[in-house]
Chain A
Amino acid sequence: MTGRQNPVLTFLSAFFGNFIVQRFLLFLLTVWVAATVIFILPRLTGQDPVKEKLLLEAQRGGSVQAGMNEMAQEYSARLGLDLPIQEQYINYITDLARLDFGYSIAYFPRTVNEIILDSIVWSIGLMTVTLFLAFVLGTGAGALLGWSRSPGWLSYAFMPLLTLSAIPQYMLGLVLMFIFAIILNWLPFFGAYSPGNLPEWSLGFVLDVLRHAILPALAILFSAVGFWAIGMRGMMVNTQGEDFMIQADAKGLNGTRIFVRYAIRNALLPQVTGLAISFGTLLTGAVLVEVLFQYPGLGNTLFYAIRVSDFFQITGIVMTIIISLAMATMIVDLVYPLIDPRVKYTQS
């Protein structure tokens, strides 16, 4: 058939066949599904978070419960909880699209966004540094472990690394806290800075923050290093069977050059996909490490929101984590074909 194709259809099929567009749609779908699940679940159980919170406060304060219902209604109207459920849903989704999570119930005049902004700085600081260090150290260790010409004693380091990676981060945190903060008394065991200190840009404060970050960071680092090392070791073993390795050998290149320029360079790329997979586990693990060390990041804020059953704050923090994870995996997926020419996303 020689008939002309409909230009709109051609454009649409090219548009939706495009990998970047598809990946972005998957990202939107992920966030939308998560948001909808979080919206529907509370409504299924038929509980009223506002009223419950008020009842809890009243019980704690021992105040009379007269006028409770009026108060709950007033709050519900202000928070838009008295609307029909479709309207609530539409409001919820449009608020989410603007990244607006509403007011915190526990700290009412404050918005959830303010609280998240206060704490996310600490989480991002802790996570990016540990993630980067773990990637570098773990990949390096894995490369040496998988290299057949490494000294023999190195192979004994493999089992301890495996064992470390199998232990939950917060368990390692407990041990580290006991050894370094309690027995040796070298490092502080809670908070992000000393209680008397006020956040400011001075050398003393920065050093104080670093000292407080060492233990939680080490707890995350130890298990993450094992994760990267295992992946890298496997890739190194595979790479050494490749033809270009034999060729490099035959050319008479020296060992270090083959190791760095031929083996590591090729084994490194699939590690990047590991980044996307590990974000989720690392982050949820880090939530508990923050709780353990009372580190004022997102995890600890979530823990306190759970304790006072501040539902809007919990939703806000959970959605923030889900969106940032989905975005991180999308970015890794999109960037990967650019750095590894062996992978190509073809139109299906």
Chain B
Amino acid sequence: MARATGTRNLTMGTRARLARRRWGGFYQERIEPIFLYGRRNPSLIVGLAMLGTLLLFTVIGLFGYAQLEPHTNDPSQNSRLDAFVSGGAPVGDKRLPPSWCTWCEDIAELEGDKKPTLFQYPMGTDTQARDLFATNLRGIPLTLGTGLIAGLLSVGIGTVTAFVAAYYRGVPDVAIRLLTDVGISIPGLLILIIIRIQLGTELLWWQLGAGLAAVGWVFSSRTVRSQVLVLREQPYVEIARQSGMSGLAIIFREMMPNLIPYITASFVASVAGSILASIGLEALGLGDFSSPSLGMTVYWVIQFGAITLGMWWWWLFPLAFIVIIFVSLFLISAGLDEWSNPRLRRQV
């Protein structure tokens, strides 16, 4: 046996201890607490795992599917991922059930008489012959991206306004408070409908995100402001102020670390809210018609009456992705609540 005699007789525990020493305590100090915390806060871990799996699926799918040979001889289609574009007269196999679904009722309109192979269309095609697997793969990042941009912007604006209000007090505080009070009671979706109709142009995914942030920042501002007001009265902030720390230093070095859980929770909430609103806008027909985002798929599903046509594959897959996105974001925000408000621990 070539195995070194020194380690052969060691028990598992000793081996782990050795490994731990080699990590230089890094595992014990940094990694292990995460697992221990995860056991106490399963919803955060489950939520993150769901979102991570979805992202992994999308990334692998996007790279893997692009490698397969395109469906048609159309030179404008370089890869299968181009197959969601429906410019001009739709060409190709229409209304095809997922090709692995051998028991599905056949309502397809094939272009040629060639039967599709087993994994040619993993999620079937729609009435305009778009490959729905390609559509969904491209749609998930677009929908998540809209939410991400909206979330980042609204949390950014919300945090800055909250600090301005809390720092200057007086008139800015009153103005910002009134603005958020008024903004919260006006449904942002309706204002966006008006904006979008007046712009007349179709909004790209990031423009939609920016628009959602323009009406959604009031929620973040209110959440963060209420926490800043609590923190401002804390003794350690008072000590920092009296020992001559500058305002910015107090904000970033003393208050920010305690605000991070709230800011993160507010970020997740506004991402979820923005995705909900963006899908709503797109389903109302106010999205980008050339975009394959999940909301636009919902729009086409309603427009073409996919449900009455019995084309379950058209709406079931985007629905599943949307549900995964919302449930994972919900679990993450529930987990963050537990993190930021330890009093809730083991109660809720």
A residues near B, CB below 8 A?
Answer: 26, 29-30, 33-34, 37-38, 41-42, 44-45, 47, 162-163, 165-168, 170-171, 174-175, 177-178, 181-182, 189, 233-234, 237, 280, 283-285, 287-288, 291-292, 302-303, 306-307, 309, 311, 314-315, 318, 321-322, 325-326, 329
CA distance A314 to B139 in the complex (A): 29
The stretch that binds A, out of B105-113, B251-259, B278-286, is B278-286
Contact A167:B348 (CB < 8 A) given known A47-B200, A174-B301: no
Q: What residue in chain B is nearest A178 (Cβ atoms)? A: B307
Contact A311:B197 (CB < 8 A) given known A29-B178, A284-B280, A303-B285: yes
- Cβ-defined contact, B280 with A34, below 8 A: no
Of B181, B301, B326, B348, the contact of A234 (CB 8 Å cutoff): B348
- Cβ-defined contact, B322 with A171, below 8 A: yes
30 A-B residue contacts at CB 8 Å? Answer: A26-B182, A29-B182, A33-B182, A34-B186, A37-B194, A38-B191, A38-B194, A41-B194, A41-B198, A44-B198, A47-B200, A163-B327, A167-B322, A167-B326, A167-B327, A168-B279, A168-B322, A174-B301, A182-B307, A189-B308, A291-B283, A291-B284, A292-B302, A306-B193, A314-B197, A318-B193, A321-B187, A322-B190, A325-B186, A326-B186
Q: Fill in one digit per residue for B150-180: 1 if any A CB lies within 8 Å of its CB, else 0.
A: 0000000000000000000000000000100
Give chain B nearest CB distance to A165 CB in angstroms: 8
Give chain B nearest CB distance to A191 CB in angstroms: 13
* Chain A interface mostly: helix
From A41, A42, A174, residue with most partner B Cβ within 10 Å? A174
Is B347 interfacial (CB 8 A cutoff)?
yes
Is B54 interfacial (CB 8 A cutoff)?
no
Of B279, B286, B307, B348, the contact of A237 (CB 8 Å cutoff): B348
Q: What residue in chain A is nearest B277 (Cβ atoms)? A: A284
- Cβ-defined contact, B189 with A284, below 8 A: yes
- Cβ-defined contact, A171 with B190, below 8 A: no
CA distance A114 to B178 in the complex (A): 34
Of A181, A237, A283, A314, the contact of B193 (CB 8 Å cutoff): A314
Contact A291:B194 (CB < 8 A) given known A26-B182, A284-B280, A322-B187: no
